[in-house]
């Protein structure tokens, strides 16, 4: 099972790399840069395991890589041609953010008796954190677009309108809610791994 998932992760990373090549060949910096940065993000779980000794297992890497792949191939035109593609990518990406937030917060909760976070509060916290990251992302998109236009470059990120940004935030909240409802028990092992690293310090 573990070996199969790892192979799947490598296959999906190869697809992201292929999107990068397509971006380079077609001289589309938006596609190339987003795929390259996304590919680097997919390496984060391996870095945590190799350099910090946090045993995540293969599923978090698969989760992150799926989110990156959806965004990367979306840059090839799916964001424009498929109405719901943007909603899908925001939900999946937000769930990754919410999952990371839960693992970190729960690890701190386990590590110290001075902090107690009841489950309802954690659920609300996940949604708030996910929305916070969503706001930062949407703001960065608008700023990056305006700066690129001001300096005569093609914007690297797709920006539609303020109304679209609000809809994106709604799907970010959905990603946070999905993790709060269904994902916390599956992330407990990772939280305990992180708490073990805190104990080690």
Biggest CA pair distance of the chain: 56
10-residue stretch averages of pLDDT, the chain, 201 residues long? 88 97 93 94 88 80 96 92 93 94 86 78 90 91 81 72 87 93 82 74 53
* pLDDT at position 200: 60
**Dist CA 24 CA 201 (whole Å):** 44
What are the boundaries of each domain within the chain? 1-80, 83-201
Residue 183 near residue 102 (C-beta atoms within 8 A): yes
Sign of CA dihedral 47, 52, 55, 59: negative
- Which residue is associated with the tokens 């916070």? 132
Model pLDDT, residue 24: 96
**pLDDT for res 43:** 92
pLDDT on residue 186:
78
Give me the pLDDT at residue 32, please.
93
């Amino acid at each position: 099972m573990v070996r199969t998932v790892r192979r799947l992760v490598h296959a999906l990373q190869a697809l992201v790399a292929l999107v990068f090549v397509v971006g380079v060949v077609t001289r589309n910096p938006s596609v190339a840069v987003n795929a390259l940065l996304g590919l680097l993000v997919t390496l984060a779980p391996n870095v945590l395991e190799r350099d910090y000794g946090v045993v995540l297992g293969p599923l978090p890497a698969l989760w992150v890589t799926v989110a990156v792949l959806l965004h990367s191939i979306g840059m090839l035109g799916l964001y424009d041609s498929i109405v719901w593609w943007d909603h899908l990518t925001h939900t999946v990406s937000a769930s990754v953010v919410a999952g990371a937030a839960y693992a970190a917060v729960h690890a701190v909760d386990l590590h110290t008796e001075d902090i107690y976070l009841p489950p309802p509060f954690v659920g609300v916290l996940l949604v708030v954190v996910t929305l916070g990251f969503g706001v930062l992302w949407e703001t960065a998109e608008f700023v990056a677009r305006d700066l690129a236009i001001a300096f005569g470059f093609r914007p690297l990120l797709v920006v539609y309108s303020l109304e679209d940004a609000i809809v994106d935030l709604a799907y970010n909240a959905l990603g946070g809610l999905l993790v709060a409802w269904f994902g916390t028990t599956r992330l407990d092992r990772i939280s305990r791994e992180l708490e073990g690293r805190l104990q080690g310090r």
